[in-house]
Amino acid sequence: MLTYARVRFVTFVVLVLASLPCAAQTAPPSTPQPTSTPDTPTVKVGGTIFTDYTYQQQPTVTDSDGNLVNLSQFEITRAFINLTGNLSRRIAFRLTTDVARETGVGSALEGSYTLRLKFAYGQWNLDDWLGKDSNVKFGIHETPWVYYMDEIYRYRFQGPQFEERDGFLALTDAGVSFHYAFKSDYGDVHTGYYNGDSYSKFEPNDQKGWQTRGSFRPFARGPAPLYGLRVNGFYDHDAYVKSAQRRRAAASVTFEHKYLNAAFDYLSARDQTSVKTPGVTTVNSREWSVWATPKTTRGLEGLLRYDRGEPNATPTSQMIHARTIGGVAYWFLTTPGITTAVMFDVDNTTFQKATQPTVRKYAVHAMFNF
C-alpha cells in the first residue's frame, strides 16, 4: 500500500514532468523559428599566416666579415588580419591588412615588418537579379586571373605562381569589377577596371587596366571524373603612359579532383615603357607553367611544378629561365574556414643563356588560416 508521503511524492513528480515543454510542442512543424533576419549585419574576424625556414644552397653570399656562407633565415612571408562580413543580405565587405618587410636603406624601420592594405572593398550582391555569385566589387580587391588560379593551386604559401612571381600580374589592385556565374555551374566571367599597378603601388598617371577572365566547365553535366575540367582565358589591356603598351594574355586548362589538381598555364606579354624616350623598344615575353598536386584522403599531398620563361622572347634572348619545384605537404585541417598545412620543398631556378648562377633553395613552409 502507498503511504501518504509516497502519494504526495508521486503526485509532485507527475506535476513537474507535465509542466516540462515537449520538443513537439515548442512550435508547429510548419512554423520555422529563425534566429536572425536575413538583413542582420554580421562581422567575422580571421587571419592567415605563412611562415618558413629557407636554406639557400646556391649561390652562396658574403657576410659582413667577408666569409662565403649559405644564406638561411626564418621568415614571415604573409600575415593577414581579415575582417569580413555583411551589412545586409545584399551588401558585404572585406578589410585585410598584410605585413611587408621594410627594405628602404637608411630608414629607421629598415628590416622591420610594416602594415599595409591587401583588401579593402565593398561588395553589392546581385544574386536576386542575376543568380548566385553575381556581384560588383569596389575598392582594393582580387584581380580576375591570379586569385582565381590560386584557388585551384592552393600552394601560395610555398610561393606565388609565375605570373605574380615574375612580375607580370598582381593578386589585388584598386578598381571596380563585375562577376557573373553561368547557370548550372558551366563557368563564370570576371571583368574589371583597375589602376593596373597593383595594391602595393600608387597610380602615377591617367592610364588604367581593363582585365577580363572567362572560364568554361564543359562537363558540368557530364561524367563525374571530368566535372573538374575547366578552360580559362584572360586579357589585360593597359598602358604605362599614353600609347605605351602593357598587355597580358593568358590561357589555361585546369583540373580539380579528389585525388589530383593540375594545370597548364600560358602567358604572353608586351611591354613598352615609353614611346618618346630614344632607345626604348617593345619587349615581348612568354612564359608557361605546368603543375600537379597529387593528393590522398589522409592529408598527404605532393607538389610537382615546372615553369619556363623568356622575359624577352627573341631569337637572341639571354634571359631564358627554367624553374623546378618539388615538395611534400601534410594538411592537418581542411574544414571550412580553418586550414593548416606544413610543407618541405626544393625550389630550383636555372638560367640557360645568361651568366646568372643557379638559385637552389630548400625550405620548410607552414600555413595557418582561420
- CATH code of the domain in which 265 resides: 2.40.160.10
pLDDT at residue 24, rounded to an integer: 36
Residue linked to cell 624577352:
312
> For residue 104, what pLDDT band results from cuts at 50, 70 and 90?
low
In a domain, 32, yes or no: no
Mean pLDDT, the chain, rounded, equals 88
Residue 257 lies in a domain: yes
Q: Is 109 left (phi over 0), alpha (psi -120 to 50) or beta?
A: alpha
Portion of the chain with pLDDT greater than 70, in percent: 86
- On whether residue 20 sits in a domain, the answer given is no
pLDDT higher at 366 or 116: 366
Task: List 285's β-bridge partners, or say none.
Answer: 269
Over residues 147-201, the pLDDT tens digits come to 999 999 999 999 999 999 999 999 999 999 999 999 999 999 999 999 999 998 8
Residue 320: CB partners within 8 Å, gap ≥ 6?
Answer: 308, 309, 310, 351, 352, 353, 354
Q: What is the mean pLDDT of residues 310-326?
A: 78
Q: Regarding predicted confidence, which is higher, 315 or 12?
A: 315
24 in any annotated domain: no
Total domains present in the chain:
1
Task: Specify the pLDDT at position 11.
Answer: 46
- 338: pLDDT strictly greater than 80: yes
In a domain, 39, yes or no: no
pLDDT of residue 40: 86
Please report the pLDDT score of residue 105 as a whole number. Answer: 62
Measured in degrees and rounded to the nearest 5, phi and psi for residue 338 equal -135, 120
Position 113 scores a pLDDT of 85
Q: pLDDT tens, 17-67?
A: 334 343 333 333 443 444 444 678 999 999 999 999 999 999 999 999 999
Q: In the predicted model, what is the mean pLDDT of residues 263-285? A: 93
Cβ distance 163 to 196 under 8 Å?
no
Q: What is the pLDDT of residue 300?
A: 97
Between residues 314 and 264, which one has the greater pLDDT? 264
pLDDT at 321 over 60: yes
Query: Tell me, what's the pLDDT at 313?
Result: 61
Chain-centroid distance, C-alpha 232: 17
Residue 313 lies in a domain: yes
C-alpha to C-alpha distance for 83 and 280, rounded to whole angstroms: 44
Give pLDDT, residue 314.
59
Domain carrying residue 325: 56-369
pLDDT on residue 311: 80
Which triple of cell numbers denotes residue 277?
624616350
Convert the pLDDT of each residue in 105-143 to its tens digit. 666 667 788 888 999 999 999 999 999 999 999 999 999
When pLDDT is averaged across residues 293-310 and rounded to a whole number, the result is 96
